[in-house]
Amino acid sequence: MTRPLRTAAVFFVPVVAWACYLFLLLPSVIVFPISFGTGGEFEFPPRAFSLELYRQFFTDAAWWGAMTQSLMIALMTALATTVLGLPAAYALQRASLPGAGLINGFIMGPLLVPVIVLGLGLYLQFAPWNLLNRDVSLFLSHTMLAVPFMMISVGASLRHLDPTLENAALIMGASKPAIFFKVVLPQLKAGIAAGALFAFLISFDEVIVAYFVTGPETQTLPVKMYSAMRWELSPVIAAASTLVTVFSILLAIGIMMLQRKEKQQ
């Protein structure tokens, strides 16, 4: 290999990586200044800076109501995804179930079906069962969408988990539930946190299924933004989005600090 080629190779990976980080970040970052605009229009750079959009957001119950609704649905989704997905992932890893491959494929299914197909199907199903406009229908639908991510994330952690640890605990006299909570769970923390975060974000940003399933009391922020788009592109969504971004970053930093503290112990 010639020297210039080698030099190019050395720089190739970091340069591409940094360009990519920039590309991923910019659209999110640019929303920040937009959110401090004067209101009325989506503009960059704003003509003047103000907190007008935030004032509009917090004084309009439809906005912050949708935001709290979204937060609640997303939290419930993250919780349900963990509660339902974790035992299943563990069972599939630690038992030789007949047809485990098929079960796996089935669980991964929601990842492989275009969401609009599911949106209509769910609507057709919920309408006669009088399940529309219920928080429970929405967060369970979102759970269905998010479960594959939990399975992938926890599955990766489980594969690194040495099964002899569980056998060792068993021989030492621990019950299987105790083993799950004291031996398995602590070691899956990172995987669960990642999976739950994914579930949270998927629910928080999901438009299409939510559009079909929600009603007036269950309207989520993305649906509110989406329907607002029909008549106006209210720059309030920039403020809403900034709030969400800041909130999520704080959440992520919190999780990171928690993990670090745990490591130091």
- Residues numbered 63 to 82 that lie near other proteins (CB under 8 A) are none
Of the candidates 70, 61, 64, the residue with the CA atom closest to the CA atom of residue 219: 70
> Which residues from 193-222 bind other proteins, rule CB under 8 A?
201, 205, 207, 211-212, 214-216, 219, 221-222
11 lies in the binding site for other proteins (CB under 8 A): no
Q: Which long-range contacts (CB under 8 A, 24 or more apart) does 132-138 make?
A: 132/213, 132/215, 133/213, 133/214, 133/215, 133/216, 133/217, 133/218, 134/218, 135/72, 135/73, 135/76, 135/218, 137/213, 138/73, 138/209, 138/210, 138/213, 138/214, 138/218, 138/220
Neighbours of 180 (CB within 10 A): 18
Block residue for tokens 């979204």: 70
> Which residues from 36-65 bind other proteins, rule CB under 8 A?
38-44, 47, 62
Binding mask 79-118 for other proteins (x = CB under 8 A): ----xxx-xxxxxxxxxxxx-xx-xxxxxxxxxxxxxxxx
> Which residues from 137-196 bind other proteins, rule CB under 8 A?
140-141, 143-144, 147-148, 151-152, 155-156, 158-160, 162-176, 178, 182-183, 186-187
**Shortest spacing between CB 179 and other proteins, in angstroms:** 8
- Residue whose CB is less far from other proteins, 55 or 97: 97
CB-based burial of residue 123 (10 Å sphere; 0-12 exposed, 13-18 middle, 19+ buried)? middle
Binds other proteins by CB under 8 A, chosen from 4, 27, 59, 261:
27
**Shortest spacing between CB 64 and other proteins, in angstroms:** 15
**Shortest spacing between CB 36 and other proteins, in angstroms:** 14
By residue count, the chain amounts to 265
Tell me how far apart the alpha carbons of residues 160 and 174 are, in angstroms, rounded to a whole number.
Answer: 22
Count residues binding other proteins (CB under 8 A): 137
What lies within 8 Å, CB to CB, of 43 at 6+ separation is 34, 37, 235
17 lies in the binding site for other proteins (CB under 8 A): yes
**Shortest spacing between CB 196 and other proteins, in angstroms:** 13
- For residue 263, give both structure tokens: 């490591």
**Shortest spacing between CB 44 and other proteins, in angstroms:** 4
Neighbours of 24 (CB within 10 A): 10
> Which residues from 224-263 bind other proteins, rule CB under 8 A?
224-234, 237-238, 240-241, 244-245, 248-249, 252, 256
Binding mask 118-147 for other proteins (x = CB under 8 A): x-xxxxxx-xx-x-xx------xx-xx--x
**Shortest spacing between CB 257 and other proteins, in angstroms:** 11
Tell me how far apart the alpha carbons of residues 246 and 256 are, in angstroms, rounded to a whole number.
Answer: 15
**Shortest spacing between CB 42 and other proteins, in angstroms:** 6
